[in-house]
Amino acid sequence: MDLNYSPEDVAYRKQVRTWLEQNVPSSPPRTLEERKVWHRKLYEGGFLGMGWPKEYGGQGARPMEQAIVADEMARAAAPAPTNGLGLGIVGPTIVVHGNEWQKKRFLQKILTAEEMWCQLYSEPNSGSDLASLKTSAEDKGDHFMVNGQKIWTSGGKVADWGLLLARTDPKVPKHKGITCFLMSMRQPGVEVRPLKQITGSAEFCEVFMTNARVEKENQIGKLGEGWAIANTTLGYERGGRSLARISGYAAQYHRLVGAAKKLTRNGRPLMESPTVRQRLGKIWADLEVERYNALRVLTQLEKGEHPGAGGSLTKLSYSEFEKRFMEVAQEILGPYGQLTDGAPAELALEIDTAVGEMGTWAYGFLWSRAGTIYAGSSEIQKNVIGERILGLPKESRADRGGAR
Amino acid sequence: MNFSFSDDQVLLKNSARALLDEHCKPEHVRAMMDDKTGYGEPLWGEMAKLGWLGLPFPEQYGGAGLGLVELALIHEEMGRAAYPGPFLASVVLGGFPILLGGSAAQKEKWLPAIASGRARLSAALQEDRLDCDPAGVTTTAARAGDGWALTGVKRFVPWAHVADALLVPARGPEGLSLFLVDPKGAGAALKPVTGMDLTTRWSELRLDGARVGADALVGEAGGGGAILESTLRRAAVCASAEMLGAARRSLDMAVGYAKVREQFGQLIGTFQAIRHKCAEMLMEVENSHSAVYYAAWALEAGAEDAAVAASICKSYVSESARKVCGEAIQVHGGIGFTWEYDLHLYFKRAKSLEVQFGDAEYHRELIARHVSSAS
């Protein structure tokens, strides 16, 4: 056990920090075009697709180097690159499951943000029970014809392509009849409608597919393998960004302590109140425990081990933590925490929301409700932990009849 | 960066598990709960032979020269077995102050004696107030001849009834100092108290002008605070490791039970009410593991955040272990509430450690001080 960073890692961190100091734009990019400019700068700096093979435009970097870059970006409050799902989910899926032609055709353009991506998984009636999805892809000889509706599609508005899960065989048990496709979003059969969330902004969309077309060459993996592929891609959403996430929380936490020194109640600063100190002390302990967890995950990744179901523990822990953190922030800030506009500078928070506008404490609080729902709700994670780590017996489920 | 155990550390953990599985079964724990001294000499001797009792001491003093991560591993296994005995008291509370602040003569006298199991030590860290902040010590040390006369009352002194010497913090003209006191000596009186965890023994120590020689002073006169704080941090982490072991044992028992117990014609582990509870318990246990071994490493390596890491560890694990051990009883239902079933051994062990070396509230205040100056 040695939790010091190696001299190489320390040197690399310094190099990244220097690059960021010289290149982070002084005013955050607001429009998609401005974000793409920043995105390309990051790409040219060698900070995107870090874990992808070099022959497809990646860097072939170690997990630790990826974590350091993400962490330094969080510390420098550098804007995130655009095309997050392309970088985070679609690219890694193509790297692992795509064929040579698909890798050459798609990967580079994800890295340069020439082609923007979204993920077409969830449906109105298939949330936690994703495998029950109904969108169909019918084999028409030279192509597949897609019909159905997707929901919770991040970045659907700007996407050129979508990573699609669709049912290709309705006769076999539900987990076996799903196939994974790359579908062009720029076609008449695809309609995208923004979906306004409780934050008031619309990061998500609904996508309606009516006789939409998917070329045969854009099928990922074999027919009926889509569920297995989706399960590995859900894993990509966890792990690599772990350290950066914690540094983001830490920056917000220090803002909160600053606010607690300024705000007063009963004639004295909140930071002098024992109950506030207890709450803040507990949150810092929880936050640091999440950082230690991230270091454990990084250790595994560095050894070439996949966290597997352990990723469910990490996700459950940090997403539940984020809710507790944001609740405490609201308790401390009182009505100031609810301001979406007009907060005094020393009480305001500026966080990146990935839709071009800056977030507030109010936004962070509302957004914290998403983490325990997306990418497998906390309840789903607990089922996975119970069955796959603790080996508890599976519950009898109505949909498993004949499927196994 | 490597947050995993080395082969040697895994070996040590396995050998600790093997020894305690054989010699510290629940029957042994229960026998010691009824025993007057509360621990068994044969197992104590085995632990000395394996080098556990001198684990963190340099080899020149009969120690194994290992670090806090290894010490935490042993403590986790002891918590898992609900080991009854003065291990933490002697090695950590007794050993570290002498190791960190003692004179050459004190080290030569006491460290080999602790390591060989010949001597048992402990420390009197608590007084009437509930916290263990060195700043609040009221026991006094007055100059008397060559030495000192100590007066005050110490509470909840672990394993004092079997200790050959106690480390006693007392306030003198130079400030807070640490003294080695013979609990059976003149002017000192021990009164055992009984807590609900019978695998831990506490006594009240009354010092009424108890005389100690000049050679009883550990460290400089007035220099006790720093030694005490360092020792408390190590004790907090080792106690957390024990709580972690108790929690993991409780979780294992709950999961094992959920796999065999049937109600409504099904294994109760199929019910999400049970499964989700077990998943939450595992999350708490793994988070506690992170907290314990991060803090152990940080203290050993002298990391910048070592002090706050110890407070994070103790505050987190204190609540988490209580929750996990308690939920294990809930998963078991009625049988978990019986004296005959072993769950209460771990539940009570965790509960007793929760209030020692600073409870969650005490450590959260230390964390708040840290972040307030850092933000």
| Tens-digit pLDDT profile for residues A153-174 | 988 999 999 999 999 999 999 9
Residue of chain B with shortest Cα separation from A67: B1
pTM for the whole structure: 0.95
Closest-CA residue of chain A to B10: A1
Of A3, A274, A390, the CB nearest to B294: A3
Size of interface A-B (CB pairs under 8 A): 168
Rounded-to-integer distance, Cα B294 and Cα B308, Å: 11
Instruction: Please state, in angstroms and rounded to a whole number, the distance separating the CA atoms of residues A18 and A41.
Output: 14
Nearest to B1 among A3, A389, A395 (CB): A3
**Which chain A residues have a beta carbon less than 8 Å from that of B255?**
390-392
A392 to B311: CB separation less than 8 angstroms, yes or no: no
CA pair distance A98, B188, nearest whole angstrom: 78
Percent of chain B with pLDDT over 90: 97
pLDDT value of position B364: 98
From the CA of B201, how many Å to the nearest CA of chain A?
Answer: 30
Does A392 contact B6 at a Cβ distance shorter than 8 Å?
Answer: no
Indicate the pLDDT class of residue A236, thresholds 50, 70 and 90.
low
A237 catalytic residue (yes or no): yes
pLDDT of amino acid A401: 45
**Per-residue pLDDT for A353 more than 90?**
no
Residue-wise DSSP of A256-283: HHHHHHH-EETTEEGGG-HHHHHHHHHH
- For residues A234 and A367, the model is more confident at A367
Active-site residue identified among A237, A272, A302, A357: A237
State the nearest Cα–Cα gap between A254 and chain B, in angstroms: 5
A3/B272 touch (CB, cutoff 8 Å), yes or no: no
Strand partners, B169: B178
Task: Examine the pLDDT at A286 and tell me if it is beyond 50.
Answer: yes
Q: Report the range out of A249-258, A371-380, B322-331 with the highest average pLDDT.
A: B322-331
- Give chain B positions within 8 Å (CB) of A382: 272, 275-276, 279-280
Nearest to A349 by CA among A366, A362, A330: A362
Binned at pLDDT 50, 70 and 90, residue A305 comes out as confident
Asked if B259 and A391 come within 8 Å (Cβ–Cβ), the reply is: yes
Q: Which residues of B fall within a CB distance of 8 Å from A9?
A: 1
Q: What is the pLDDT of residue A357?
A: 60
pLDDT higher than threshold 80 for residue B147: yes
What's the confidence (pLDDT) of residue A402?
A: 36
Mean pLDDT score across all residues of chain B: 97
Alpha carbon distance A62, B55 (integer Å): 36
Q: What is the pLDDT confidence band of residue B35, given thresholds at 50, 70 and 90?
A: very high
Cβ distance of A3 and B374 shorter than 8 Å: no
Pair of tokens at residue B21: 């599985």
Q: Which of B268, B286, B355 is nearest to B324 (CA)?
A: B286
Quote the longest CA-to-CA distance of chain A.
76
B363–A281: do the CB atoms touch at under 8 Å? yes
In tens, the pLDDT along B292-348 reads 999 999 999 999 999 999 999 999 999 999 999 999 999 999 999 999 999 999 999
Q: Is B324 on the interface with A (CB under 8 A)?
A: no
Contact A295/B294, CB-based, under 8 Å? yes
Q: What's the average model confidence in pLDDT over A360-384?
A: 94
> With contact defined as beta carbons under 8 Å apart, do A281 and B367 qualify?
yes
Over 60: is that where the pLDDT of A216 sits?
A: yes
Query: Which of B 336-375 lie inside 8 A of A, CB atoms?
Result: 360-361, 363-368, 370-372, 374-375
A residues 224-243 near B, CB within 8 Å?
Answer: none
Q: How sure is the predictor about A144, in pLDDT bands with cuts at 50, 70 and 90? A: very high
Q: Do A285 and B280 touch (CB under 8 A)?
A: no
What would the pLDDT profile of A37-78 be if each residue is shown by its tens digit?
999 999 999 999 998 999 999 999 998 999 899 889 988 888
Residue B60, CB-side half-sphere exposure with 13 Å CA sphere: 5
Has residue A239 got a pLDDT over 70? no
* Banded model confidence at residue A366, pLDDT cuts 50, 70, 90: very high
Contacts with A313 from chain B: Cβ below 8 Å? 282-283, 286
Q: For strand A161-167 and strand A117-120, is the pairing parallel, antiparallel, or unpaired?
A: parallel
Return mean pLDDT, chain A: 91
Q: Do A292 and B259 touch (CB under 8 A)?
A: no
Q: What percent of chain A lies above the pLDDT cut of 90?
A: 73
pLDDT of residue A358: 65
pLDDT at site A348: 87
What's the pLDDT at B226? 96
Q: How far apart are CA B279 and CA A387, in angstroms?
A: 9
Q: What is the pLDDT of residue A27?
A: 84
Decide: A159 and A117 in contact? Cβ < 8 Å.
yes
Closest to A181 in 3D by CA, of A150, A226, A141? A226
Q: How far is CA A261 from CA A185, B371, B373, in A?
A: 50, 12, 11
Q: Mean pLDDT throughout A87-94?
A: 92
pLDDT tens-digit profile of A98-117?
999 999 999 999 999 999 99
Type of residue at B230: S
When CB atoms are compared, the residue of B255, B298, B365 closest to A390 is B255
> Is residue A312 pLDDT above 50, yes or no?
yes
Highest average pLDDT, of A307-321, A339-353, B106-120, comes from: B106-120
Q: In this complex, is the C-beta atom of A281 within 8 Å of any C-beta atom belonging to chain B?
A: yes
Question: Does residue A298 belong to the interface with chain B, where contact is any CB pair within 8 Å?
Answer: yes
In this predicted structure, the answer to whether residue A400 has a pLDDT above a threshold of 90 is no
Distance, in Å, from the CA atom of B281 to the CA atom of A257, rounded to the nearest integer, reads 30
